[in-house]
């Protein structure tokens, strides 16, 4: 697994009561920052990552030596301009990049916690990350943002801490995980648990990890991040070796080879148990149910400005589900904007170089920050 020696973290000493009923304390929360916090401490943006992300949103990940997952959006002059903003990103609890999770070593046994780790929720994740505000002595964040599961965290954070954020930008997300998405996540979990190396989640005691199961889970999930049009345009029925079929079960088609590659590189940086726990947290997410079927109530105590973003070709978290969030906010007279970005790149659009999206996000962040500063003068 990953060498975690280069990772920044805080130790959360205060007890955190989890939704499952258990309590954790003195646990690590790994984070990274980009840009500088100004003297007023009013330029901080908290970025929430998605399922397979981590705190290394920009630059080069010092653990994997790969480019940060949102490098296209975070940096000098980019959508989240680090010449202007102080960007914070944490690895969610349950993750495997230094925060408390199933791969954390239990000091009592000197073995990874594995499936003895408690089941967590999106609510637990954001409550843990709130400790970063205390650590940096930030009274109020300028913004919170994130896509996919990151967007779910945005919604939950505003609901939990209604007076702690000026601007919220949930991207390509939902307020309630659908039956389709639960089913897709279950497919991935079953692939992992069917791997003979999983050993009820205690594979950390052995040399062999359930890499085959995790690779299949990643392959299946990766399909959902793309669009039919995007797949057809990029791969179509192109063969891996020019125009000859192999008449075997090797990768005849380029799309097969691509998916196998996605699976093989994923297992080098991600923990199978973390995949189980994080997808379960996503499936449990239902902000509407938390407020007795009335999503508007989740935000009625907040004066936060919202800007909701969706993509035309995203069938995993379609525009209709993002609009439901907008409708709930409109119902209470919240300050909310909405845009649907034209893109053929599917759900992954928010992670890729989609100029319309990146420019829209940049213009909104910059103009809103300027307007808020003018009001203070």
What is the set of active-site residues? 148, 314, 347
**Cα three-residue angle 260-261-263, rounded to 5 degrees:** 65
Closest CA to 61 of 52, 71, 51: 71
Contacts of range 198-201, beta carbons closer than 8 Å, 24 or more positions apart: 198/272, 200/115, 201/102, 201/114, 201/115, 201/273, 201/276
Q: Please report where in the chains the tokens 């949930």 appear, as a residue.
A: 170
Residue ranges with strand state E in 177-226: none
Give the C-alpha separation, 156 to 209, whole Å. 33
How wide is the angle at C-alpha 126 spanned by C-alphas 66 and 101, nearest 5°? 60
Q: Which of 130, 173, 187 is CA-nearest to residue 282? A: 173
Look at residues 42, 19, 46, 24 and name the one whose alpha carbon lies nearest to residue 34.
46
Contact in structure between 343 and 357 (CB atoms under 8 Å): yes
Q: By the 8 A CB rule, do 317 and 174 touch?
A: yes
Where helices occur in 80-178 by DSSP H, the ranges are 122-129, 131-135, 149-160
- CA–CA distance, 57 with 65 (Å, rounded to integer): 13
CA angle 170, 185, 30 (to 5 degrees): 55
């Amino acid at each position: 697994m990953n060498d975690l020696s280069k990772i920044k973290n805080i130790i959360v000493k205060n007890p955190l009561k989890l939704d499952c009923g258990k309590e954790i304390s003195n646990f690590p929360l790994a984070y990274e920052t980009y840009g500088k916090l100004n003297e007023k401490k009013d330029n901080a943006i908290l970025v929430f990552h998605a399922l397979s992300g981590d705190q290394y949103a920009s630059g080069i990940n010092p653990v994997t030596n790969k480019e940060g997952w949102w490098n296209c959006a975070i940096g000098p002059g980019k959508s989240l301009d680090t010449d202007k903003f102080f960007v914070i990103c944490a690895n969610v609890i349950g993750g495997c990049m230094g925060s408390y999770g199933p791969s954390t070593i239990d000091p009592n046994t000197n073995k990874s916690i594995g499936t003895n780790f408690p089941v967590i929720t999106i609510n637990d994740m954001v409550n843990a990350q709130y400790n970063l505000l205390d650590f940096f002595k930030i009274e109020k964040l300028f913004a919170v943002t994130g896509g996919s599961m990151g967007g779910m965290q945005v919604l939950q954070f505003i609901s939990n801490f209604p007076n702690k954020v000026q601007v919220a930008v949930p991207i390509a997300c939902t307020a309630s995980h659908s039956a389709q998405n639960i089913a897709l996540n279950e497919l991935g979990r079953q692939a992992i648990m069917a791997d003979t190396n999983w050993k009820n989640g205690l594979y950390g005691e052995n040399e062999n990890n359930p890499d085959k199961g995790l690779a299949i889970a990643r392959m299946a999930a990766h399909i959902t991040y793309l669009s039919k049009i995007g797949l057809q345009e990029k791969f179509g029925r192109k063969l891996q070796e020019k125009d000859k079929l192999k008449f075997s079960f090797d990768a005849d088609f380029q799309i097969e080879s691509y998916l196998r590659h996605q699976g093989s590189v994923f297992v080098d940086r991600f923990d199978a148990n973390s995949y189980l726990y994080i997808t379960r947290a996503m499936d449990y997410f239902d902000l509407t149910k938390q407020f007795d079927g009335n999503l508007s109530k989740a935000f009625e105590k907040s004066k936060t400005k919202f800007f909701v973003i969706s993509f035309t070709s995203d069938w995993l978290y379609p525009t209709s589900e993002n609009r439901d969030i907008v409708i709930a906010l409109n119902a209470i007279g919240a300050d909310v904007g909405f845009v649907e970005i034209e893109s053929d790149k599917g759900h992954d659009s928010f992670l890729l170089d989609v100029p319309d999206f990146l420019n829209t996000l940049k213009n909104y962040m910059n103009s809103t920050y300027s307007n808020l500063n003018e009001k203070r003068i």
